[in-house]
Amino acid sequence: MPAQLPKRRSAAVESLEWNDLRVILAICRSGSLARAARLLGKDHSTLFRKLNRIEDRAGVRFFEPLPSGYTMTDAGELALRFGERIESEFHALSREIDGRDARLQGNVRITAPDGICSVHLPPVTPREFER
């Protein structure tokens, strides 16, 4: 009989979403819940509750609250490192697809002296722009 592999424990960290990582990144970068809340346009108490839900769902503590602010735990350091990579990829994706579906529309007006308009512009102007 073949040896059975141990069942894979479902990692609670897999339940994290991009918005959760944004919260973690903001706290990591600012070192303070109040400053992170301002960065994210949230209320301090709302961010506090959100962080508690994130940590409860993930089953780890990303921060140690201290009188001087929030300091990252080992899990927080990992979240920062991976979160920044994910953030970078997310922004790269946004740049790649930004405007691909957009089609230019509208009128184009070119003002130039008559000689330029009749001699030099027609060869370099696409036919759909000519009237």
Segment 9-26 mean pLDDT: 82
**Residue 45 · residue 53 · CB < 8 Å:** no
- pLDDT above 90 as % of the chain: 51
Q: Which of 21, 37, 12, 42 is nearest to 91 (CA)?
A: 21
The conformation of residue 67, written as its DSSP 8-state character, comes to T
How far, rounded to the nearest angstrom, does the alpha carbon of residue 117 sit from its chain's CA centroid?
A: 46
Q: Output 25 or 5, whichever has higher pLDDT.
A: 25
Higher-pLDDT residue of 19 and 128 is 19
Look up residue 125 and give its two tokens.
Answer: 């102007």
Q: Which amino acid is at 46?
A: T
Give the pTM: 0.66
User: What pLDDT does residue 113 have?
Assistant: 85
The residues, any chain, with a CB within 8 Å of residue 20's CB and separated by 6 or more, are 54
Measure the CA–CA gap between 105 and 99, rounded to whole angstroms: 13
Whether CATH 1.10.10.10 fits 12-97: yes
Count of C-beta atoms within a 10 Å radius of residue 75: 17
